[in-house]
Structure 1
Amino acid sequence: MSNVIPNPTSPLSPSAGPPALSREDMAWVENTRDAMSVEAQIAQLFVLSARHDSAEENEGLLAHAPGGIHRFPTHDLDAAWAATRHAIERSDVPLILSGDIEGGTVSYPFTTAIPNQMGIAACDDLDLSADLAAIVGRESRALGYNWSFTPVVDINRAFRNAVVGTRSYGSDPDRILAQARAYVRALQAQGVAACAKHWPGDGMDDRDQHLVTSVNDMDMAEWRATFGRIFGTLVDDGVMTIMSAHIALPAYIREKLPQSGAQAFAPASVSRLLNEELLRGELGFQGLIVSDATVMGGLTSWMDRAEAVPAVIENGCDVFLFSRDPAEDMALMLKGLREGRLSERRLNEAVTRFLSLKAKLGLHRMTLDERIAPLDRVRDGLRQPDHLETATRAAAGSLTLVKDRAALLPIDPQQHRRVVVISDEGTSFFSGAPDRDFTPLRSALEGRGFHVRSFDADAMPTPDDTDLILYLIGQEATPSLSHIFLDFTKLHAGPRNAMIQFNREIPTLLVSFGQPYYLYDAPNFATYINAYASLPAVQAALVERLVGDAPFTGVSPVDAFCGKEQLTW
């Protein structure tokens, strides 16, 4: 007789949702849940964030007995290892460790740096994508992670959107789905739960849900053919978790409630209709739903905190992500339960699902060394030669030549010896992201005989002293920027200088190490390259292609011309 019992809430389709638990694992879930006080069950729903790897921070987080800790990248492997091991060891109920392990510059410096999702999509090689996901899984597991809030399955349609961009696989739903399927399968095969985000789909609105409640304005026929198909297929493939975002889908709400008014624009994170009827009912998802960060403006501008805290769980999310004041938010959750704004049914379901995820990952059976090995073994598992070789191949394969109307390329030190670099420093919302540094690119050019100098607003470049102007620009997708654009005021050191353009007098090359749409702000620039991220391996591979030692093979995952004919000329 089989020792596997079905989840009592599983759908009719056996392929929908993650696999059922064994009798022993289900018993562990139920016994652990039932032994908890109400306060402990509420604490179990919280995933709190860690940014510093300090003992003080660790103790402060563990004092709340949360269900999980979300670790942002830091720069010291010894400290990261010690903090992670300490947190696991101190938790009575197995602690889940999550991260936004998206690639690009948002990664630990002691791990294998891979391109961001758009860079991976530009390689247009699903086998390579799966290999990269397996590297992420292996190295993340070595560092103690069990859950990655990836892949991003948003459709990058609103080209001014600052937060989707390079975090997405592009604008083609078919490409997005193929990449996401490869990623989820490879990551979960390494024992790390994947999380498809951002439900019900970002990228239609050029606003950022970190700042406002943004809107997916698709009608339901288009939504079902695109986002519905993407999420639904991943559900059938067994994606273990989905992130419910602070994004509205008014067409679905009005399909159910034609007179809904302002409620049509409720964020999914507090929408029972979107989470329970559309995601669970129509798509059949039975895995875990995690809210997006509850400190974001898309939620805090919609609903006051006392309402929002219990509403997140009551309306279908199983995990409450982040808190500026965990003790206060846990008290608000308990108050909501006592006042009937959070039902016992939903509390029970949410705790059961979170414990079930931990059981599916086998956390309750693992020893401390199985969760995170001794430091020397962890170090040995990172940046292995085959990992670095695969990442280097992806960095080179991502580089995309968008246009070269002036036949500028390849450049050579005879014709283009005197190079002026105009660069921006970039920025990142994400804790642990490194400062951008173009030293690898400059050094590689100088090593090939080019004379490189930085732009000086007091000595503007002229055709008499400059053979090539090289713009090194580009912001990787990051929260809270509102919009992206090519800021000539900053690049040229002043608003009057911003009006000066050199491209008709001096050969000019524009390279984006981030978002793929900067040609919109420089339509008359004749040569433009998308590199997607400023990783050192990307910079080294770019120089090889600039001088003609290797071809550009990247395939643009988006329309880099933004639908504007002007940009093509």
Structure 2
Amino acid sequence: MVDLSQAPFHLDRGAIDWVERTAAGMTLDEKMGQLFINLNTSFGEPYLDTVVRRYGVGGIRFMGSDSATVQQHIRYAQSVAKIPLLVASNPEMGGAGSIDDGTLVTTHLGAGSSPDPDDAYRLGLVGGRETAAIGCNWAFAPIVDIHRNWRNTVIGTRSFGDNADIVIERAKRYFDGLSESGSAAAMKHFPGDGVDERDQHVVTTYNTLGYDEWNESYGRVYRELIAHGVQSIMIGHIGAPELSRHFRPGIADEDILPATLAPELLQDLLRGELGFNGLILTDASMMVGMTQAMKRSDAVPAAIAAGCDMFLFFRNPLEDLEYLRAGIENGVVTEQRLDEAVTRILGLKASLGLHEKPKDQLVPPVQALSVIGSDEHVEIATTVADHTVTLVKDTQHNLPLTPASHPRIRLYGVTGQSDFTGTDPRGYLDIAREELERAGFEVHVFKDAAQRRAEGEEGVYFHTVMADEASGDYTEKYDAAIVFANVAGFAQEATVRIRWSSPMAAEIPWYVTEVPTIFVSLNQPNHLVDVPMVKTLIHSYAPTREAIRATVEKITGASEFTGTFNDNVWCGDIWGTRL
């Protein structure tokens, strides 16, 4: 059984007694409920009464909203919970992403690109503080995937880098910062994303490294972070054929399963060879990476039987609970496996001190929200932006570009679709215009055909826009062109690339032969595959005012570039990217 006195729980006798006493007093239904983490899709109290009272879930994660709304939501959930809840967040970029008014510090890639390892600590610190203020006690971070395949965009900005050393260093510092808030961490996505180019949200993906190579890279990351004290691990819907074959010689190709369903990866490797004693949870169970592997009625108990202690998100609560019950009754999930999972869940709660807190103290007071978006956190974001903005190339020596040398700027925006958070993907362009004007430039913003038609202009098509834009007097109107790209994609495409506004769009950098052109990526690091013609490329890592202001300061020479980059920017050395 589980030794709760050892890492990562470190429970004393009193806390262990609480776990054992609580588990012994639970019904089968209560034990089953503890194994699920619900995605709360409503802020209504009757909804929470059903989720928390009726189903007795062990944990919750909430949909995004402002911090005051979320804090009250969590407060009510804890008030009606028989056993204190694990309350999860995704503070991958700081407070942003967990709450609408949270501070966006930078991405994991930004923190990995800084010359200062403590920027990863600052990222975790802000994320931990802001999510703890609303009542969260569990962070689905840090991300410890290695971005080995430049085509992989699901972790393109969500990995600290392309090698184990940088991931280990920065993930430890992130964990240290996060831990100051008292939150537990769930590193992800075991056995490791970044080898396959696809997104496990929409298809099962695979880490195809051999056993020895995996151990020297991903395995070393997990060993180091486990030793550093990480309390839980999120399992990806990622298969690892060579690892499965190592532990199950002769396993058939059709029996290679994503790690969430593979006992050889969870029990033999993660629990056995890596010695992980903490809590294991699945990644979101609606991802096609899991659902394509087996039918839901089998997958729910199979994930627990394979070694997962918690199941992330119901599809339908009544159905999923019955699927688990059937798996217990038919022996797929043994009584010992169920009790081990419950013990680890309660153990994690006890390690956070939740068992000792009165219900009315499980969530901080309203006054705690003052830390969210505070001047201190904005200043941290400003400092991190100054460190991380990176000059990838300037082969034409276009920099510095100043209002004195190039006063008239043609400003282009390259935008991906809004993702499921509903965030306005074009908001960055107004910030870019404002910051360029603040620096003293005269800015002329390009509008594509759809934008011009939306403003009431008639007879506008992509070819008429190109004719207007690519005219012989372009250099008489503009002295330089600056392109800001905020191309994000998540859980909708297998990979993400630039999608121009129309065929042969006028914003495609045809103008590089006419005027000095600067391309700034606010998101993905692989844009040179689509714009190899640009001679000056900058990575800024976030569509925030802090990052954009730092970028403009470095473009004008008011500040030095200090950020670094890895070889993924060259897109596998496709011809022309370095020119």
TM-score by length of 2: 0.91
Match of 2:277 in 1: 286
Match of 1:471 among 480, 483, 495: 483
Match of 1:9 in 2: 2
Query: For residues 53 and 470 of structure 1, do their structure 2 counterparts lie closer, same or farther at Cα, with a shift above 3 Å needed?
Result: farther
- In the alignment, is the contact (CA less than 8 A) between 2:522 and 2:540 conserved in 1? yes
Query: For residues 420 and 495 of structure 1, do their structure 2 counterparts lie closer, same or farther at Cα, with a shift above 3 Å needed?
Result: same
Whichever residue aligns with residue 9 of structure 1, its letter is V
Query: For residues 499 and 366 of structure 1, do their structure 2 counterparts lie closer, same or farther at Cα, with a shift above 3 Å needed?
Result: closer
Whichever residue aligns with residue 350 of structure 1, its letter is A
In structure 2, what is the Cα distance between the partners aligned to 1:436 and 1:394? 23
Match of 2:390 among 383, 400, 409: 400
Whichever residue aligns with residue 250 of structure 2, its letter is Q
Q: Comparing 457-466 with 109-118, which one deviates more in the overlay?
A: 457-466
Match of 2:456 in 1: none
Match of 2:555 in 1: 546
Match of 2:227 among 220, 236, 241: 236
Whichever residue aligns with residue 520 of structure 1, its letter is V
Match of 2:120 in 1: 129
Match of 2:307 in 1: 316
Give the ranges of 4+ consecutive aligned residues of structure 1 lying more than 6 Å apart after TM superposition.
none
In structure 2, what is the Cα distance between the partners aligned to 1:32 and 1:263? 41
Deviation at 1:184, TM superposition (A): 1.7
Query: For residues 481 and 147 of structure 1, do their structure 2 counterparts lie closer, same or farther at Cα, with a shift above 3 Å needed?
Result: same
Match of 1:141 among 99, 108, 132: 132
Match of 1:5 in 2: none
Q: Comparing 239-248 with 534-543, which one deviates more in the overlay?
A: 534-543
In structure 2, what is the Cα distance between the partners aligned to 1:382 and 1:456? 35
Aligned-residue identity in percent: 34
Whichever residue aligns with residue 562 of structure 1, its letter is C
Match of 1:381 in 2: 371
Match of 1:523 among 526, 532, 542: 532
In structure 1, what is the Cα distance between the partners aligned to 2:241 and 2:149? 18
Match of 1:214 in 2: 205
Query: For residues 290 and 158 of structure 1, do their structure 2 counterparts lie closer, same or farther at Cα, with a shift above 3 Å needed?
Result: same
Match of 2:90 in 1: 100
Deviation at 1:113, TM superposition (A): 2.2
Match of 1:113 among 104, 120, 123: 104
Match of 1:4 in 2: none
In structure 1, what is the Cα distance between the partners aligned to 2:421 and 2:499? 24
Q: Deviations over 1:270-314 (max 9, x none)?
A: 110000110000000000001111110001011100100100100
Q: Does residue 1:32 correspond to 2:44, yes or no?
A: no
Q: Does residue 1:190 correspond to 2:181, yes or no?
A: yes
Q: Does residue 1:344 correspond to 2:335, yes or no?
A: yes
Q: Does residue 1:223 correspond to 2:232, yes or no?
A: no
Query: For residues 156 and 277 of structure 1, do their structure 2 counterparts lie closer, same or farther at Cα, with a shift above 3 Å needed?
Result: same
Deviation at 1:66, TM superposition (A): 0.8
Q: Deviations over 1:514-567 (max 9, x none)?
A: 011101111121010011110121111111111111111111145311231521
Structure 1 gap segments, 5+ residues each: 1-7
Secondary structure in structure 2 of the residue aligned to 1:84 = helix
Deviation at 1:379, TM superposition (A): 2.2
Secondary structure in structure 2 of the residue aligned to 1:409 = coil
The count of aligned residue pairs is: 554
1:477-556 correspondence runs (5 A) = 478-488=490-500, 490=501, 493-495=502-504, 501-556=510-565
Q: Deviations over 1:243-269 (max 9, x none)?
A: 111101111111122321125531000
TM-score by length of 1: 0.93
- In the alignment, is the contact (CA less than 8 A) between 1:428 and 1:478 conserved in 2? no
Secondary structure in structure 1 of the residue aligned to 2:519 = strand
Deviation at 1:469, TM superposition (A): 1.9
Deviation at 1:450, TM superposition (A): 1.8
- In the alignment, is the contact (CA less than 8 A) between 1:72 and 1:99 conserved in 2? no
Deviation at 1:508, TM superposition (A): 1.4
- In the alignment, is the contact (CA less than 8 A) between 1:166 and 1:476 conserved in 2? no
- In the alignment, is the contact (CA less than 8 A) between 2:115 and 2:562 conserved in 1? no
